[in-house]
Amino acid sequence: MNDHKGAFQAILTQLRDIFDSSEQGMYLYLDDENKECNGKFASMLGYGSAEEWAAVEENFPTAFVAEGSQDELVQKYQEAMQKATGSSFDVEWKKKTSGTIKANVILIPVAYEGHRMALHFVTA
């Protein structure tokens, strides 16, 4: 399996039970086209469903992260992809309509057949 989408879907299939039952907001991110969250995270940001959140086509940090938190989130993601390190840090998220919400993020790198992506647990 060489394609990003296939690897992303394979990991997501394996994580489905955790996504659906977690009491925390969660999302899996490979790139702006391959991202998925659970209903708790979508609701936290004011989206009606996980599908509505995933359909946002704008650059991830610009669409979902307050300006003051964007650099740190990108840095932690890059560290996870390059060094296979997990981290915990605070992020201020943009809500869909207006306002922000502060939350703690636990970022964990995961891989499938050579494709690295990041699993995020979000607690507000």
pLDDT tens profile 8-62: 999 999 999 999 999 999 999 999 999 999 999 999 999 999 999 999 999 999 9
Phi, psi of 117 (to 5 degrees): -150, 175
Q: Which residue has the tokens 């790139």?
A: 31
Q: Tell me: the pLDDT tens digits for 84-108?
A: 999 999 999 999 999 999 999 999 9
Does pTM top 0.85 for this prediction?
yes
What structural domains does the chain harbor?
4-123 (3.30.450.20)
> For residue 96, which of 59, 61, 64, 66 has the smallest C-alpha distance?
64
